[in-house]
Structures are given as C-alpha cells and as structure tokens.
Copies of this chain bind each other. A is one copy, B any other.
C-alpha cells in the first residue's frame, strides 16, 4: 500500500502538534510548509519586543524539532493557493505539492479594520521580525530624544518621542503597555543625562468597557489598577479614529505620539479565501465538529485560522486551543477514521493566564481566580514548561532571573538604526 501524504501549512502550535501526532507513523509521510524556518513561542513574543528576551530564546528551527522523525519533511516556502479539486497546494513559485490530507494551520495577522494605511505607523506583533521592529522603534525613540534634547528648544517633539500608545487591551496590549512602562521607569533608570525616561507617557486604548475581554470583570479591574500603578493611562470605551505619523486621534482629541503599537484585532490569513468555503467576519473558516471542511473530509482547518463554536461560545484564538486541535486532527488522520465515524472536537479548557508585569499575573482556571505573586509564579512555570527544548527553557529561566529580580532588559539592541527617523 502506498503511503498517504499529509501536508501541513503552518508550524505554529496547531501545525506542530498535528505533525507530532503523525511522527514516525507507518503509512504516512508529512510535509510541513512554513513561511519562516522556525516554530515561534508567540505567548512570549512581547518580551522580545520589549528587550527582555532574544529571538533565539523563544524560537526553534522546525526541522530541528523533527530531526528524528524521518517521515516528516520541512519546507520553507509561501503557499499561494490551495487547489482542492486537484488536491494540490501551490507555492508562490508555482511548485505544486499534492496531498491526501491537508491541515491548514496558517494562523492570523493583525487586522486594521479596513484602515490598512495605519499599519505603517502602528506595527503589530505576530512574527519575530515584527517584534524586532517594535523593539528598535521603542529604543530608537529614547536615543533620539536624548540626542535632540540639547539641540532643540521644541519640547513637544521630545514629548512625542517619549509617548507610547498601545491600541487594543487584549493580553498582548496589556502585556506590552505594562512592559513599556517598566522599561521607561525601571530598566532605563540612570541611563540618560538630557532626558528623564521617568516622564514617559504610556496609553492603553480599548474600544470596549473592559481590558482583557475574555476575563471576569474582577480580574480585569485588578489589571487596570495594576497598570495605573505603573503610570499607564488606560482609556476604556475609546475608539481610535485615525492613526498617522503624528499620533493617534480619538474622536476630537489627539495624542501626539512617536510610538504606536497595534494590538487590536486579528484576521485570518488570506490564503483561506482560496479554499472557497464559508468564513466568519474575520475570515476564519467555519469548520465541522471534526474540524474538517463541510464538503471535504480530507481538509482540516485549525488554530487561529478556524472558527469553531462549542457550548454557544466560539473558541478563543489562543495557543492551548490550537495545540489541542492539532493533536486531535493528527490522531484522526493517523487512525484513518472515515468521515462519518469521527469524534467531535472538545476543548479541554484548563484556563487562561496573563502577565501584567513583575511578580504579578492573572490566572483563571475553572472556578479558581488568582492574582499577584503566586499567579505570577504559575505563569512563569507554565510558560517555561511549554517552551520547546531544554536549552530554551534554561535560557529563558536565566534571563528572567536578571529581568524580574534586577530589572535588567539587556537585549536592548538597535541592530539596524532607523536612518530616516534619526534624520528627523
């Protein structure tokens, strides 16, 4: 019997765990296709953007992860279209890769709600490249402010350089705002002579009436108090009406800011459109109870690319959902379960957690709600536990000791000085 070929698009939590379920299974060969060469531990990406960790600490080459699994092949490539009638995936150089089963785990990008021109001024945070750009933007602003402070009498320019606006108060927005405040008020202490980084202003803007929408209000209010202690200005019920080179407009008011970070919305990868199936409003594919397509049991969509409703609630776009979905789909394929006998996917919700700074986090697990030091310890433990590779666990642990206990953020590197900005 010929072996079945499984193609997996995307090596995030979903794709990776689907591949693991198929590793070394006789009768299956697997091809993982990803735009980059690494699996990224996205929950810690904000720490790369805020100079606490190096990119190499939270990413692992995909082919290194599967080096012992001879039936798994990795390709670094862009997928252009999926042709379901021919059962092939087409790469951007028109190479065609045939499949027997296809798992689409292509994730999501930020969505600017139709205002794509805002992206130039308000980068988001999905890839390592994004994180490094945000890191350099933040650090360059302080450098430029120090340089200009002696040259110019224009205090408003310095103030704009030292103003940071984070748009969207989901987990990433909350973590970024807290971390930027810590950089300004702690990590950069005594580093400057002409400016006072303590005067940095950080805004966190949220359209709805609470931060961390998926958490109970009690925990969300705790997070707001904590952010305000760190001198973050939290603006709820506030709609951003424009983003440009000068700053952010919120209705009639305007915040002059040189640094804007977008954490407000996601939309699924545009590749999904080529599947030609029903999607939700953010472009996610509406999947069957076995996570396959309605008319095509050989094609599965998982993770941030999928819309799946369980108990009247759409599953959130978080790592544990993607991970469990990947494993579930991998097992269905592995056991060759025919379409009409497949189990229904059930998400085992072990809870959620968010770091809101040094020694402080929110943990929500079933009836348990916890905040403060022990929640923070749990957060650290869980994140190190799920990191891939002993080396990465050890490096992150080591750097957290310096970062949390001594306030050091030593990956404060500007590798590609932004020349245009420096010549402002």
Contacts and interface: CB of A to CB of B under 8 A. Distances in A.
Interface in A52-75: 54-57, 59-61, 63-64, 67-68, 70, 73-75
A37 B414 CA distance: 6
B151 A95 contact: yes
Contact of A398 (B139, B394, B410, B411): B394
A413 B55 contact: yes
A157 to B, nearest CB: 13
Contacts of A408: 391
A61 B410 contact: yes
Contacts of A399: 391, 395
B190 A68 contact: yes
Contacts of A55: 54, 411, 413, 415
A398 B394 CA distance: 8
A392 interface: yes
A194 interface: yes
A412 B422 CA distance: 31
Interface string A379-398: 00000000001011011001
A78 B418 CA distance: 12
A192 interface: yes
A417 interface: yes
Nearest to A416: B129
Contacts of A423: 92-93
**Most chain B beta-carbon neighbours within 10 Å: one of A60, A67, A76, A93:** A76
Interface in A169-186: none
Contact of A63 (B63, B74, B192): B192
A59 B63 CA distance: 28
A191 B54 contact: no
B192 A56 contact: no
Size band of the interface chain A makes with B: 35 or more
Nearest to A60: B410
A64 B410 contact: yes
Given A55-B413, A417-B36, A423-B92, A190 B67 contact: yes
Contacts of A398: 391, 394-395, 398
A190 B71 CA distance: 12
A77 B422 CA distance: 8
A55 B51 CA distance: 12
B402 A191 contact: no
A67 B143 contact: no
A147 interface: yes
Nearest to A68: B190
15 contacts: A35-B417, A36-B413, A37-B413, A54-B56, A60-B410, A61-B412, A64-B191, A67-B191, A70-B193, A75-B147, A93-B151, A129-B416, A391-B399, A391-B402, A392-B410
Given A67-B189, A394-B398, 16 more contacts: A37-B143, A38-B412, A54-B411, A60-B410, A61-B410, A64-B412, A67-B191, A76-B143, A76-B144, A76-B147, A77-B422, A127-B415, A132-B415, A391-B398, A392-B410, A395-B398
